[in-house]
Structure 1
Amino acid sequence: MLTSLQGSARPPAGLRPFALPALRHPTVTTLLTDHRALLAELLDGLGSPLHVVLPEVFEENLTRLRQAFTTAGAPADVLFAKKANKAACFVDSAAALDAGVDVAGAPELLGALAGGVPGHRIGISGPEKDDALHALAVRHGCLVAVDSPGELDRLAATARSVGRRARVLLRIRTAGQSGSRFGIPEAGVPAAVGRCAELADHLRLRGFSFHLNGYDPAERATAANRSIAYGLDARRRGCPEAELVDIGGGLPVRYVEPHTWKAFLAQDRPVHYHAAKEFAGSYPYGGRTAIEAVGELLTHPVDGTESLAAKARRTGTRLLVEPGRALLDQAGFTLFRVRQVDDRRNEDGYAVVTVAGTSFSLSEQWFGSEFLPDPVLLPAGPPEPRTTPPDTTFPACVAGSTCLESDLLTWRKIGFPRPVRPGDHLAYLNTAGYQMDSNESPFHGAALPLKAVLRVGDGSLPPRWHLDGV
């Protein structure tokens, strides 16, 4: 959590902004250092902001995540959580690697099918789905996570009218998430299993899922262990196919080095932000990686000393996992063109950089926080000689170009290595996971930002690009 202390908006004399550099995948480094001209041309031609998406990195993440589950002794079926990014290219990559997709509504389901993902690899987890979505899911053999007894009965009725059995997961509301609006309370699970057995002509209970907030592997292992027990009970009660446990997403991403993150938290104060802005907390930018979290989850002891992975093997349980952010780690970044610089250093100690675009293209503020890793300053032309001493920086926050006082991409005062100038570019790294399009809006009549899909390959040829969906 971010430290929350009162303070002035004007920094004390001599205070320098704390650097929080973002980690970079080698592909990102190659693009930023060796292909600046291409990025500049794309930004000039396609507009600011521009989202650059990297399906090769997504594919690498998917392969490594599968291997982590296999190495731990519990191979899992991976369903990409489509809500984390709207780009069609990631669905195409999932289809090419025989992975699945998790969707929440008909538009996402149609997009997954159009991208080549077969229905039996698509999970539908939106709450209280309507009958039209049920019918589409049943016809394509999708796996439907049911949130309530009422939805279960509606799905059975739809399956009866379609003439096919529906594949079902019962979504559990765990005791630790009693305030959640998702899922069936644990006390109601036995009755729901009994209902599935009664409606076996129309429903195939395949297993159980659950919704958790946060990244605690022990909590997730406990919920998975409970789900395994429910599956064993369901098999005894007339639902022999209840062999799946969907552990959801909740795999963290590391954006910055852990030691840098720890040091940042120790010094963080409202004085470091425009208008002394305070946030209640933040994403754990320097926490565990997804691969580390998978290891902790699967080796966590359940029912004494047996690991979750060992229990899944022993009971014939197949795990499903629905990562979004983790598969998109380093798989995209966002470019903004600097429109104006209001240099207030003599009055306030920092400048306000206004970019062409809005904070709606960095969606962390949707969660009551901000996207904290430093943006990278990219000169629009040849680098100019440094005009400040090597040990000084140009402190500035970054604002959007709307009429809203709250439209700041970065409230924190960033220490840029040289003065920022109109026409320069700012690159926000690692924005593919939830950041770049969750909140985007045609506010002020602006067009939605475009996505350029880049593939670098082995470096023997120039990068190839196309617009997403084209």
Structure 2
Amino acid sequence: MVAADGRPVLPVLPVLPDPATDTVVTSGLLPELAYALGGPFHFLLPDAFDTNLHAMREALAAAGVDGFVYFAKKANKAAVFAERAAALGAGVDVASAGELREALGHGVRGEHLVVTGPAKDPRLLRLAVQHRALIAVDALDELDTVITVALNGRERPARVLLRVLPSIQPHSRFGMTEEELATAVDRCVKAGDALRMEGFSFHLSGYALQPRADLTARLVGLCLAARVKGLEAGRVSIGGGLPISYSDADAWHTFLATQRPAHYHAGKTFQAGDFYPYHSPLAGADALAALLATRPENTGTTLADILRDAGVELLLEPGRALLDRAGATVLTIQGVKDRDGYQLLTVDGTSLSLSEQWFNSEYLPDPVLIPQVTAAPEGTFPASVGAATCLESDMLTWRKIAFPRRPRPGDLLLYPNTAGYQMDSNESPFHDLPLPPKVVIDHAERPRPRWRLDRHFI
């Protein structure tokens, strides 16, 4: 498609309405923060975390399923989300000694931690046992280390889940085979009082519900078999994998159908499969409710019924789904270059703060231009966004964004809904640029939002 002036009509991907972010934008706070902090920054909206957690708990309760939600800390390093988890009695999923200490330091109880990840450092395992954290054991040698730590220490018992290698992902480097699981169960029995085997865990790539329901039902069966051998085996962790929707269905499918290399700086090409699914028919707590209502293969009942009848508690470790609309990223335009029919913007940050760019992909939700000089909308001004580094590949947005007015140096760009996995998974002080600080926004029934810097210890 082309416009009347012969230029191609650019695809757009607007985000879903977000009143909390809109309030921050209209308050005038962002230019003040950009000036005060002297560079790019992220702002966080912890009320959204609370809302998302509450919705997941409601979905579990509506299905009559006992469940416990852990926040996957790798999704965002900010301290405020660990603080909110502690205040609301939720757990935190950690995978390093640093993450474990950070969670404890912000009030999360040791028994509300779950330690995941492969080949865990023995020091991490000792900390986990000492603080009575639940350990998702990934391999037989790791189980042996946990048992040794429990036998040699004063803290007993060590609490473990046995992580399963999914049969539909046989090449995954995580989890134990059926034979290894059988051996692991026997070792748990022999460990006696040194070990408390609480159940099984898994993680599946992708977002399909049926495979999750099938594997969860299988693990419930493993729990029942383990109980016959005298083990507790009353919990199953399904990991994360609850999607969120950044945009509505029409916008997302139209974008996929119309985008092509001409819409990107330098003719950059992406395959549709390279992109995160920025729309999902079922997202967050709705996806959880649908999972619980799914009928696992070769059963005549729902997953919720299977869990309830077996007395098995469902454990969740979502990251992105708890951070939906919980924050955004703000950068300042430093330079503008005219190219053939579009502009190249340079901002004061790097694509390391938009992690999707580092997975052969693009963070697609449209950034919002916040002009610093009042001006009426002037039309459509395409622009791609580059970073303040010496790398050709360091682009925050390869796509030519259809801005409603001409971007100028000093204007702000807001990338929406970046709290989940975008802000800090890959941030680095490249060129000795400081890491963007995180600002916690408190609405709390005030005419203007208040803010504070996030208290991250590490």
TM-score, with structure 1 as normaliser: 0.93
**CA distance, structure 1, for counterparts of residue 63 and residue 193 of structure 2:** 37
2:334 aligned residue: 339
Return the letter of the residue paired with 1:375.
Answer: P
1:4 aligned residue: none
Q: Give the secondary structure class of the aligned counterpart of 1:177.
A: coil
Greater shift, 51-60 or 64-73, is seen at: 64-73
**CA distance, structure 2, for counterparts of residue 45 and residue 293 of structure 1:** 40
Q: Give the secondary structure class of the aligned counterpart of 1:465.
A: strand
Return the letter of the residue paired with 1:116.
Answer: G
Return the letter of the residue paired with 1:31.
Answer: V
2:417 aligned residue: 430
Aligned-residue CA RMSD (Å) = 1.2
Return the letter of the residue paired with 1:293.
Answer: A
Superposed, 1:3-402 pairs within 5 Å as 13-33=6-26, 35-36=27-28, 38-163=29-154, 164-239=156-231, 241-280=232-271, 281-287=274-280, 288-302=282-296, 303-344=298-339, 348-381=340-373, 383-386=374-377, 388=378, 392-402=379-389
- Number of aligned residues: 447
Q: Is the 8 A contact 1:358 1:401 kept in 2?
A: yes
* Structure 1 residue 222: Cα displacement: 1.0
Q: Is the 8 A contact 1:338 1:355 kept in 2?
A: yes
Return the letter of the residue paired with 2:415.
Answer: Y
The unaligned stretches of length 5 or more in structure 1 are 1-11
Q: Give the secondary structure class of the aligned counterpart of 1:301.
A: coil
Q: Is the 8 A contact 1:66 1:75 kept in 2?
A: no
Q: Give the secondary structure class of the aligned counterpart of 2:320.
A: coil
* Structure 1 residue 130: Cα displacement: 1.4
* Structure 1 residue 364: Cα displacement: 0.5
Return the letter of the residue paired with 1:209.
Answer: S
**CA distance, structure 2, for counterparts of residue 259 and residue 340 of structure 1:** 34
**CA distance, structure 2, for counterparts of residue 162 and residue 335 of structure 1:** 48
Return the letter of the residue paired with 1:294.
Answer: L
Listed one character per residue, the Cα deviations across residues 163-214 of structure 1 (whole Å, up to 9, x for unaligned) are 3210000000010111111111123211211110011231110000012111
Greater shift, 179-188 or 245-254, is seen at: 179-188
**CA distance, structure 2, for counterparts of residue 377 and residue 358 of structure 1:** 17
Q: Give the secondary structure class of the aligned counterpart of 2:10.
A: coil
Q: Is the 8 A contact 2:66 2:308 kept in 1?
A: no
Q: Give the secondary structure class of the aligned counterpart of 2:333.
A: strand
Return the letter of the residue paired with 1:286.
Answer: H
* Structure 1 residue 25: Cα displacement: 2.1
* Structure 1 residue 46: Cα displacement: 1.0
* Structure 1 residue 15: Cα displacement: 0.6
TM-score, with structure 2 as normaliser: 0.96
The unaligned stretches of length 5 or more in structure 2 are none
Match of 1:421 among 385, 408, 411: 408
Q: Is the 8 A contact 1:16 1:393 kept in 2?
A: no
Q: Give the secondary structure class of the aligned counterpart of 2:193.
A: coil
Structure 1 residue 448 corresponds to structure 2 residue 439: no
Listed one character per residue, the Cα deviations across residues 52-86 of structure 1 (whole Å, up to 9, x for unaligned) are 01111111111111111211221310000000000
Listed one character per residue, the Cα deviations across residues 92-130 of structure 1 (whole Å, up to 9, x for unaligned) are 000000000000010000011011010110000021111
Return the letter of the residue paired with 1:196.
Answer: C
Q: Is the 8 A contact 1:336 1:425 kept in 2?
A: yes
Listed one character per residue, the Cα deviations across residues 325-380 of structure 1 (whole Å, up to 9, x for unaligned) are 00000000000000011011xxx221101100100000002322110010000012
Greater shift, 82-91 or 183-192, is seen at: 183-192
* Structure 1 residue 87: Cα displacement: 0.2
**CA distance, structure 1, for counterparts of residue 269 and residue 361 of structure 2:** 9
**CA distance, structure 2, for counterparts of residue 89 and residue 398 of structure 1:** 29
**CA distance, structure 2, for counterparts of residue 265 and residue 106 of structure 1:** 41
* Structure 1 residue 292: Cα displacement: 2.3
**CA distance, structure 2, for counterparts of residue 304 and residue 79 of structure 1:** 28
* Structure 1 residue 410: Cα displacement: 0.4
1:6 aligned residue: none
**CA distance, structure 2, for counterparts of residue 461 and residue 266 of structure 1:** 43
* Structure 1 residue 384: Cα displacement: 1.4
Q: Is the 8 A contact 1:375 1:429 kept in 2?
A: yes
**CA distance, structure 2, for counterparts of residue 73 and residue 25 of structure 1:** 31
* Structure 1 residue 162: Cα displacement: 1.1
**CA distance, structure 2, for counterparts of residue 166 and residue 385 of structure 1:** 64
Greater shift, 358-367 or 320-329, is seen at: 358-367
**CA distance, structure 2, for counterparts of residue 76 and residue 266 of structure 1:** 40
Q: Give the secondary structure class of the aligned counterpart of 2:103.
A: helix
2:454 aligned residue: 468
